[in-house]
Amino acid sequence: MKKIITAWDVEICNEEGRNVIEVGLDDIVTAVAEENMQRLGISLVRKDGRSTASGEPVGSKAIKEDLPATPHEGDVLSEDFARGWQKEFPILQNIIHVANCSQAPQSLRVRKGIENYLDSWLTTGMDWDYWIEETVKAKHEFARLINADPDEVAISTSVSEATASIASSLDPQGARRRILITEAEFPTVGHVWLASQKYGYKVDFVPVRNGEIRLEDYERLIDEDTVLTSATHVYYQNGFKQDLKDIARIVHDKGSLFYVDAYQSLGTVPVDVKAMDIDILAAGNLKYLLGIPGIAFIYVKHDVAPHLKPAVTGWFGQENPFSFQIRYLDYASDTRRFDTGTPPVLAAFAARAGMEIINEVGSNQIERRIEMLSAFTRDLALERGLELLSPVDEKKKGATTAFKVEGDSHDVEEALKAKNIIASARGNAIRVAPHFYTTKDNIEEVMNRLAEIL
């Protein structure tokens, strides 16, 4: 069983007069523990007898050593590459996890990030300089992921809060009084926009037709009264993926702002906010970005941010949060104006670690592997007579493949769990959502068990 070596373990070792801590090859040593070992002259010794410098990331180094020298089979990340990365996620040694559309499995790096915060809190009591620096680094990692500038990124606690912040920033006295959203939005986004009608806005919907949204419906429905168009990148229910660049062209031709919920896509699909001409984007981290609940990020284009004045705000959204004045608003000049109160520090440690993995592997490479797995899943499903709710063309979908369930889909989720498979129920569907570390053998096992249940 893998262990986490923390600063507390180092203190106990020192108090007991020992100068060596024995670790397994896959054990994790937190950053603060490493610093304390160096300070106290304590060294690490592996159970295989090898010594290691106290700063060496034991678990991560072992994983990288196990990755194949040539990680591709043609243009796609190889099965050996995926199997190598599964060691980064301890639960994958015993469980097949294909519920990434809901919650990613825990990785060693993300756990280590969380332990770094806990160790810092344990040993220093309070280190806001370090903690805030980590939230800034998380912003930079998100900016890198979407090809934004770091000052175009703000931190929120959820996409619900992020959307509410954007909604509160629109000018209720402006000439445009209409907000257009799609029927494919996750309900929380729709709820926020509907609640904004109290400011005098009218909300209309772009319809979902046979599980998809048509570009011509955007052309037809966006008009000169539309202040903002809200579109999900990937439909949470069945994985249908929209062409954001084409939608942006239509939206901007009509003079509307373009808001994107990328929660179901980021981490599996390349998103370039500059090339796609996106005005505003929000995404959380607990799904394909490998993080935990409690944090989300907001991107607002340089040219757009100064014109938005959020009512959902706080001291970190001011130009100088530490001026401690209370009599007037002094919004930050850039997207920082969408920061609110004290940031979710622990979640930021986890978020940064998860996004580092995605940026290391690369969204383009992940997308190609996801498309291969989607086609493989589709073919196996059709062979077994399962009813697809997702697009058949893998180019028109994200990582999620949904299957129709007669009866309670949660019962199917529980039945799969009993067979050591984690999938995600939603409405009348059971969703299978792999990631780059999922193997074809994993998918075949899932399809076989799902066919037995359905």
pLDDT per position as a tens digit, 307-347: 999 999 999 999 999 999 999 999 999 999 999 999 999 99
For the cut 90, the answer to whether the pLDDT of residue 204 exceeds it is yes
Q: Report d(CA 117, CA 201) in Å as an integer.
A: 43
What's the average model confidence in pLDDT over 215-229? 96
Q: In 3D, which of 197, 165, 180, 190 has the Cα closest to residue 255?
A: 180
Can you tell me whether residue 268 is helix, strand or coil?
Answer: coil
For the cut 50, the answer to whether the pLDDT of residue 232 exceeds it is yes
Q: Which of 56-70, 274-288, 356-370 has the lowest mean pLDDT?
A: 56-70
* Residue 292: alpha-carbon gap to chain centroid: 9
Q: Which domains does the chain have, with CATH numbers?
A: 1-60 (no CATH), 129-360 (3.40.640.10), 362-453 (3.90.1150.10)
User: Taking phi first (over 0 means left), then psi (-120 to 50 degrees means alpha), and beta for anything else, what does residue 391 get?
Assistant: beta
Contact of 3 with 24, CB cutoff 8 Å: yes
Amino acid at position 164, single letter: A
For the cut 80, the answer to whether the pLDDT of residue 27 exceeds it is no
Q: Report d(CA 195, CA 201) in Å as an integer.
A: 9
Contact of 159 with 283, CB cutoff 8 Å: yes
Residue 54, C-beta contacts closer than 8 angstroms, at least 6 positions apart: 29, 34, 37, 38, 42, 43, 44
pLDDT band per the 50, 70, 90 thresholds, residue 64: low
pLDDT band per the 50, 70, 90 thresholds, residue 70: low
For the cut 60, the answer to whether the pLDDT of residue 352 exceeds it is yes
For the cut 50, the answer to whether the pLDDT of residue 57 exceeds it is no
Instruction: Output the DSSP codes for 152-178.
Output: GEEEES-HHHHHHHHHHHS-TTSS--E
pLDDT band per the 50, 70, 90 thresholds, residue 56: very low
Q: Please, what is the average pLDDT of the chain? A: 92
Amino acid at position 442, single letter: N
